[in-house]
């Protein structure tokens, strides 16, 4: 009897690849051609346009999560870049809008209350674009969208939302950066991910994310996993995340549900860097 058990177990191991092959596999999107898009909203250089002379990068990265990929970046923007972005944005700010279909827009301050500036692609701005592409590995079929600064005053906010819409056609907003341009003397205004999991020690993360004080929650131990991450607005720093799962299904990460919490005091200026491209 024992010998029959051994033989049966050996057969099961031998046929395991066949069982896996016959098992239902997740539906993968077909590799479709690039759809028609408004290229004026993408950071696309002209054919004969030369690359700008960019200063060397001096940022450092810290990985918070691998699924989804969430990376915190110190010194993503230099002090000179932040000052420049504020100067060129000032005359361009206008009330922010929202969209439900990816085409038409309208204003709804109950959902999104801020000012936005679509900034010109000057050489310093193109250097920031190149830095954002380099962090993602210069992937093919991926473009940086035109950069936008967002200004939030007291009580202004952006309710919980996804940056991604539908990935059903195999193309979409693949990733996001939130960089902080101005955040001096700001209270509140954090970027909250209520479904994001943090399984990392409080040091150094509590420098950059809101952490409960020990007197507020005596049962909380250092480094204990928590669900819900709110990034503090820190001028010059940034957080990067990927919006879609890497399995080619076009499904977005639920954990990227996020909000710009109300500013309680001061003025916060952020820089949105979105990347649009192929998902598979």
* Pair 64, 200: CB distance under 8 Å: yes
Alpha carbons 200 and 60: distance in angstroms, whole number: 17
**Per-residue pLDDT, 89:** 98
12 contacts: CB under 8 Å, gap ≥ 6: none
Q: Domain residue spans in the chain? A: 45-213+220-278
The mean pLDDT of the chain is 89
**Position 225 confidence tier, pLDDT thresholds 50, 70, 90:** confident
User: pTM value?
Assistant: 0.87
For 73-91, the pLDDT digits (tens) are: 999 999 999 999 999 999 9
For 126-172, the pLDDT digits (tens) are: 999 999 999 999 999 999 999 999 999 999 999 999 998 888 789 99
CATH code at 45-213+220-278 = 2.60.120.620
Which one is predicted more confidently, 114 or 23? Answer: 114
Average pLDDT, integer, range 237-245: 97
């Amino acid at each position: 009897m024992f010998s029959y058990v051994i033989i049966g177990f050996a057969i099961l191991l031998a046929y395991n690849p066949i069982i896996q092959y016959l098992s239902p596999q997740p539906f993968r999107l077909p590799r479709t051609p690039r759809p028609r898009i408004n290229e004026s909203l993408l950071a696309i250089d002209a054919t004969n346009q030369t690359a700008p002379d960019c200063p060397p990068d001096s940022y450092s990265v810290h990985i918070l999560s691998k699924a989804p990929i969430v990376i915190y970046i110190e010194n993503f923007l230099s002090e000179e870049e932040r000052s420049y972005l504020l100067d060129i944005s000032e005359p361009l700010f206008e009330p922010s809008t929202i969209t439900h279909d990816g085409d038409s827009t309208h204003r709804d301050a109950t959902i999104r209350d801020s000012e936005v500036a679509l900034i010109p692609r000057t050489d310093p701005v193109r250097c920031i674009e190149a830095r954002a592409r380099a962090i993602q590995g210069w992937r093919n079929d991926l473009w940086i969208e035109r950069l936008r600064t967002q200004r939030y005053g007291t009580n202004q906010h952006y309710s919980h939302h996804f940056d991604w819409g539908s990935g059903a056609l195999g193309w979409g907003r693949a990733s996001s950066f939130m960089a902080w341009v101005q955040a001096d003397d700001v209270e509140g205004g954090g970027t909250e991910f209520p479904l994001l999991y943090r399984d990392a020690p409080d040091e150094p993360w509590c420098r950059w994310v809101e952490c409960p004080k020990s007197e507020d929650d005596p049962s909380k131990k250092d480094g204990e996993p928590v669900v819900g991450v709110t990034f503090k607005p820190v001028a010059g720093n940034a957080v990067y995340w990927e919006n879609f799962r890497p399995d080619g299904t076009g499904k977005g990460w639920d954990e990227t549900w996020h909000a710009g919490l109300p500013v309680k005091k001061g003025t916060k200026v952020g820089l949105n860097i979105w990347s649009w491209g192929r998902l598979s």
